[in-house]
């Protein structure tokens, strides 16, 4: 008997990384814990209970450590939640119940603990009292931690993916993606997330289709389901019909034709139709992406995100390990510029079990704030970057500068490190150019004050937009507010670029909008003449730039700055793109 064909189900989300893929789904649940259940012999029951006591002790140690870190960085008020966790952990009624259950049932302690904790959770959940209801989360947190200690398993990760799959999950962090064998990653679909999350940026750079902001898709798709992901329009289809697959086959064919048209200009100069040279640089995370950048004829590297190096090492790599990674990129780049950005950890990127692990806020202790608060880590990285500068054309860039004080402090550390390296006889580029990212509104307002301290600026629109709009770049529920075409964003970009031109300080743009042809024309019209983007988008942007007349691009800027509605701005930019490139295929 043949199984009836399962029904096709279509979901809509946010189109995050272009492309279409059809394949097997893999449901990734990183926090899922398999609690084992087995019998314990009578003479081993004491040892089983001792195991429980040991697990309580280590859990106590972990919670106290986190508590103290939070108290030191954020204050006693914020740390109080962990006092509540300690009370739950050491609740004698709960402990006694678990011990009694182990002795009575002769089952292993994790199974008994899980049972008792679930009973407490269901009891508190049914209460009318809000305070008691809140205790449910405390019990869930504590029991998860204690069970992890008892079961002794490492968190599940994606490094063991057996076959090429489309990853389905609630959320995908950069440390998750760092673990994946990229040849096995066909695409991904997440419940949460926005267009500029770092996992999405990685997907775009590897040309892996992705759809995010699907709300509850991870509860609807199972491992092994056949799914189709359309990263152009943000569509995910479970059990796609033969008709649908045929239709998408046609779309893929058309896209291939377009890609070939774009690639036809790769060896041509990067300049506007009236001959103005535009620097097209690549955003990379390591030496592998350097190869793609070169295939796409990038003029150099405008942004080397060094967080990838740290994530791959699962912690803070030594100076030597970092030096190796940076040098590999610098050497591969030959004479071209490599702009190495100092560690921008925090937000959606966390490294191992460290101080910043507790702070996943984009407005918290991240990037240069973290580095200035951890001089040892910062100076180790500066040493490695400076040493790598001896073998090529390196620039150094600080992320998340918010004011003059931070910039001066960072430069002081740089000066100290230069002295140390000279004393130790290490070679480095003593005149290395230093730049700051402009990605915080406060920095955008004081370009004139920051300019004397640096050699160049680069606008990080991914962050700048989220801070200007107060719309978290990862939160799909406010994704509609994250609008690059908002008049506030356009005016800010224009003001930054105009000020830099006035002061004669080089300005480039390295946020994701630099890789979107419709915004690229606007940025060039505003006066930026260097863009840094994901290499995979370089052919299309170059193709378009070669069709743009600069006077027309300037006119476009004046025109859109008078439009109040972001949707109308986008249609005008789209129209401008179409006018410039004409019809390429029968769209």
- Any idea which residues carry the catalytic annotation? 198, 510
Q: Could you write out the DSSP letters of every residue in 236-278?
A: EEES--HHHHHHHHHHHHHHHHHHHHHHTTTTS--B-TT--B-
Q: Under the criterion CB under 6 A, does residue 511 sit at the interface with ligand PEP?
A: yes
Q: Which is nearer to Mg ion, 149 or 196 (CB)?
A: 196
Q: Which is nearer to ligand PEP, 190 or 272 (CB)?
A: 190
Q: Give the range of 30-38, 308-316, 411-419, 459-467 binding ligand PEP by CB under 6 A.
A: 459-467
Nearest residue to the partner ligand PEP, using Cβ: 460
The whole-angstrom separation of Cα 116 and Cα 494 is 61
Q: Which is nearer to Mg ion, 231 or 460 (CB)?
A: 460
Q: Under the criterion CB under 6 A, does residue 308 sit at the interface with ligand PEP?
A: no
Shortest distance (Å) from residue 574 CB to ligand PEP:
22
The whole-angstrom separation of Cα 231 and Cα 21 is 8
Q: Under the criterion CB under 6 A, does residue 305 sit at the interface with ligand PEP?
A: yes
Q: Under the criterion CB under 6 A, does residue 199 sit at the interface with ligand PEP?
A: no
Q: Given candidates 325, 463, 483, 540, which one binds Mg ion under the rule CB under 5 A?
A: 463
Query: Is 288 within 8 Å of 326 (Cβ atoms)?
Result: no
Q: Which is nearer to ligand PEP, 20 or 447 (CB)?
A: 447
Residue 110's Cβ-count burial label (10 Å; 0-12, 13-18, 19+) is buried
Site residues for Mg ion, 416-455, by CB under 5 A, read 439
Shortest distance (Å) from residue 393 CB to Mg ion:
23
The whole-angstrom separation of Cα 490 and Cα 417 is 38
Q: Under the criterion CB under 6 A, does residue 193 sit at the interface with ligand PEP?
A: no
Residue 577's Cβ-count burial label (10 Å; 0-12, 13-18, 19+) is middle
Q: Which is nearer to ligand PEP, 178 or 228 (CB)?
A: 178
Shortest distance (Å) from residue 204 CB to Mg ion:
15
Q: Under the criterion CB under 5 A, does residue 460 sit at the interface with Mg ion?
A: yes
Q: Which is nearer to ligand PEP, 429 or 439 (CB)?
A: 439
Site residues for ligand PEP, 327-366, by CB under 6 A, read 344
Interaction mask 414-453, ligand PEP, x per CB under 6 A: -------------------------x--------------
Shortest distance (Å) from residue 362 CB to Mg ion:
9
The count of C-alpha atoms lying within 13 angstroms of the C-alpha of 565, restricted to the half-sphere facing its C-beta, is 4
**DSSP β-bridge partners for residue 189:** 168, 211
19 interface partner picked from ligand PEP, Mg ion, none, CB below 5 to 8 A per type: none
Q: Under the criterion CB under 6 A, does residue 515 sit at the interface with ligand PEP?
A: no
Q: Which of 505, 497, 527 is nearest to 454 (CA)?
A: 505
Shortest distance (Å) from residue 526 CB to ligand PEP:
16
Q: Under the criterion CB under 5 A, does residue 512 sit at the interface with Mg ion?
A: no
The whole-angstrom separation of Cα 252 and Cα 19 is 8
Q: Under the criterion CB under 6 A, does residue 510 sit at the interface with ligand PEP?
A: yes
Number of residues that bind Mg ion (CB under 5 A): 3
Q: Which is nearer to Mg ion, 206 or 436 (CB)?
A: 436
How distant, in Å, are the alpha carbons of 135, 343, 367, 457, 458 from that of 436?
Answer: 45, 13, 12, 5, 6
Shortest distance (Å) from residue 438 CB to ligand PEP:
10
**DSSP β-bridge partners for residue 168:** 27, 189
Query: Is 507 within 8 Å of 456 (Cβ atoms)?
Result: yes
The secondary element (H helix, E strand) that includes residue 235 is strand 235-238
Q: Under the criterion CB under 5 A, does residue 359 sit at the interface with Mg ion?
A: no
Q: Which is nearer to ligand PEP, 138 or 344 (CB)?
A: 344
CB count in 10 Å sphere of residue 326 = 27
Shortest distance (Å) from residue 201 CB to ligand PEP:
6
Q: Give every CB contact of residue 138 below 8 A, 6+ residues apart in sequence.
A: 81, 84, 85, 88
Q: Under the criterion CB under 6 A, does residue 69 sit at the interface with ligand PEP?
A: no
Query: Is 463 within 8 Å of 400 (Cβ atoms)?
Result: yes
The secondary element (H helix, E strand) that includes residue 14 is strand 14-17
461 interface partner picked from ligand PEP, Mg ion, none, CB below 5 to 8 A per type: ligand PEP
How distant, in Å, are the alpha carbons of 56, 219, 368, 436, 451 from that of 444?
Answer: 50, 42, 16, 11, 11
- Return the sign of the alpha-carbon dihedral for residues 537, 289, 28, 3: positive
Residues near ligand PEP (CB under 6 A) are 303, 305, 344, 439, 460-463, 510-511
Residues near Mg ion (CB under 5 A) are 439, 460, 463
């Amino acid at each position: 008997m043949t199984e009836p064909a399962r029904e096709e189900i279509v979901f809509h989300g946010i189109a995050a990384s272009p492309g279409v893929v059809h394949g097997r789904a893999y449901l990734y649940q990183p926090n899922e814990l398999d609690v084992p259940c087995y019998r314990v012999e009578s003479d081993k029951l004491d040892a089983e209970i001792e195991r429980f006591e040991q697990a309580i002790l280590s859990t106590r140690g972990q919670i106290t450590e986190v508590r103290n870190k939070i108290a030191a960085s954020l204050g006693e008020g914020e740390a109080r939640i962990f006092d509540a966790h300690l009370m739950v952990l050491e609740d004698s009624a709960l402990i006694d119940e678990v011990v009694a259950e182990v002795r009575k049932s002769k089952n292993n302690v994790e199974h008994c603990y899980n049972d008792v904790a679930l009973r407490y959770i269901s009891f508190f959940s049914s209460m009318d009292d809000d305070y008691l209801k809140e205790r449910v989360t405390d019990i869930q947190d504590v029991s998860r931690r204690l069970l992890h200690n008892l079961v002794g398993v490492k968190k599940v990760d994606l490094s063991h993916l057996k076959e090429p799959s489309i990853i389905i999950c609630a959320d995908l962090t950069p440390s998750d993606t760092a673990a994946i064998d990229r040849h096995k990653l066909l695409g991904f679909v997440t419940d949460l997330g926005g267009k500029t999350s770092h996992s999405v940026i990685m997907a775009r750079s590897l040309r892996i289709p992705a759809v995010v902001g699907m709300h509850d898709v991870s509860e609807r798709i199972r491992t092994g389901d056949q799914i189709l992901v359309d990263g152009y329009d943000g569509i995910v289809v479970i059990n796609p019909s033969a008709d649908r697959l045929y239709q998408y086959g046609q779309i893929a064919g058309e896209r291939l034709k377009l890609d070939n048209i774009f690639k036809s200009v790769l060896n041509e100069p990067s300049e506007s139709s009236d001959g103005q040279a535009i620097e097209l640089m690549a955003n990379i995370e390591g030496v592998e992406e350097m190869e793609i950048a070169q295939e796409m004829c990038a003029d150099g590297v405008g942004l080397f995100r060094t967080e990838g190096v740290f994530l791959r090492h699962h912690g803070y790599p030594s100076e030597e390990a970092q030096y190796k990674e940076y040098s590999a990129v610098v050497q591969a780049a030959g004479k071209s510029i490599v702009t190495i950005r100092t560690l921008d950890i925090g937000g959606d990127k966390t490294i191992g079990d460290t101080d910043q692990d507790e702070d996943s806020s984009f407005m918290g202790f991240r990037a240069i704030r973290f580095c200035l608060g951890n001089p040892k880590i910062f100076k180790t990285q500066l040493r490695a970057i400076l040493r790598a500068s001896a073998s090529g054309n390196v620039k150094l860039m600080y992320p998340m500068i918010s004011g003059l004080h931070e910039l001066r402090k960072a430069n002081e550390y740089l000066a100290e490190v230069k002295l140390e390296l000279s004393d130790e006889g290490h070679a480095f580029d003593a005149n290395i150019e230093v730049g700051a990212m402009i990605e915080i509104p406060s920095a955008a307002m004081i370009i004139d004050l920051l300019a004397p301290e640096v050699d160049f600026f680069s606008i990080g629109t991914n962050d700048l937009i989220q801070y200007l709009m107060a719309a978290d770049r990862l939160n799909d529920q406010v994704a509609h507010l994250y609008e690059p075409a908002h008049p506030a964003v356009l005016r800010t970009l224009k003001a930054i670029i105009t000020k830099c031109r006035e002061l004669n300080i080089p300005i480039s743009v390295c946020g994701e909008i630099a890789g979107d042809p419709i915004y690229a024309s606007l940025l060039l019209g505003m006066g930026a003449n260097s863009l840094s983007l994901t290499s995979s988008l370089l052919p299309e942007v170059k193709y378009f730039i070669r069709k743009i007349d600069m006077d027309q691009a300037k006119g476009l800027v004046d025109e859109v700055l008078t439009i109040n509605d972001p949707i109308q701005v986008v249609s005008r930019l789209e129209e401008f793109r179409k006018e410039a490139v004409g019809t390429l295929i029968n769209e």
